[in-house]
């Protein structure tokens, strides 16, 4: 584990991996090249966060809205996702030794059968790991996630399994993809944008937000440290005084 002498670490960090396309455009390269470099950064930062002792980290890889991008770009992203899943299968023993649990957040409808089979396999093989929860949001939307939970609650009400007056915040939370994980403490967004973009809306209700002008492929461990240092200084009152 890295020793950076942080006074406090977030239990759950959300990362919006933004700026891949602009990184490529600035270099006169196809957008797919930016996603390739961004995937390298994802691996680097994910491993670094785990080594620091951060137990839960969620990466926003592909949103429900991203399907509207050019087909060539979408295909390139899905190919990279497939490569990562195959790599995860090859590194299963290593990930299990490190105690890494892999979870994939999002609607699996629209993904290929091969990707779904790989997702199911990797999740099942690592489900008992408890040192690091590594979440990858693919075909994910925060509003859609909440809607999914509410629809399931409505079905239970219709079936007489629960009464409307018994529905609580916890009832909704139990239907989210991040079941059994803590709320997001810190959301990191590179590339100069300052919005959540439908990412973990429920989980980030009281998250601290940190943004940077650095494009995701150029994001380094030093940038991650800077975000954690900023988090250390925040006075988190959760609506109190």
Residues with active-site annotation: 18, 66
Residue corresponding to tokens 């403490």 = 185
DSSP 71-122: HHHHHHHHHHHHHHHHHHHHTHHHHHHHTEEEEEES--TTS-HHHHHHHHHH
Q: Are the CB atoms for 54 and 13 separated by under 8 Å?
A: yes
- Within 8 A by CB and 6+ apart from 210, the residues are 186, 187, 188, 189, 227, 230, 231
Q: For residues 154 and 141, what is the distance between their CA atoms, to the nearest angstrom? A: 20
**Long-range residue pairs from 21-30, CB within 8 A, at least 24 positions apart, any chain:** 21/73, 22/191, 22/215, 23/215, 23/216, 23/217, 23/218, 26/215
For residues 64 and 114, the answer to whether their CB atoms sit within 8 Å is no
Cβ pair 188, 13 in contact under 8 A:
yes
């Amino acid at each position: 584990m890295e020793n950076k002498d942080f006074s406090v670490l977030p239990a759950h960090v959300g990362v919006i991996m933004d700026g891949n396309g602009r990184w490529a455009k600035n270099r006169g390269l196809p957008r797919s090249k930016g996603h390739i470099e961004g995937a390298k950064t994802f691996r680097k930062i994910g491993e670094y966060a785990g080594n620091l002792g951060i137990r839960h980290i969620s990466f926003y890889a592909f949103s429900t809205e991203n399907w509207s991008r050019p087909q060539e770009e979408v295909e390139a992203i899905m190919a990279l996702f497939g490569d990562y899943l195959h790599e995860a299968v090859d590194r299963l023993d290593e990930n299990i030794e490190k105690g890494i649990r892999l979870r994939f957040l999002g609607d699996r409808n629209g993904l290929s059968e091969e990707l779904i089979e790989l997702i199911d396999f990797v999740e099942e093989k690592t489900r008992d790991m408890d040192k690091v929860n590594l979440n990858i949001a693919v075909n994910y939307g925060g509003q859609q996630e909440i809607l999914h939970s509410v629809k399931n609650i409505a079905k239970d009400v219709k079936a007489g399994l629960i009464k409307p007056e018994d529905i609580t915040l916890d009832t909704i939370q139990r239907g989210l993809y991040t079941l059994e994980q803590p709320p997001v403490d810190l959301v990191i967004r590179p590339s100069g944008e300052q919005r959540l973009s439908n990412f973990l809306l429920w989980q980030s209700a009281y998250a601290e937000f940190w943004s940077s002008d650095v494009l995701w492929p150029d994001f380094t461990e030093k940038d991650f440290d800077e975000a954690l240092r900023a988090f250390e200084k925040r006075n988190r009152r959760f609506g109190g005084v």
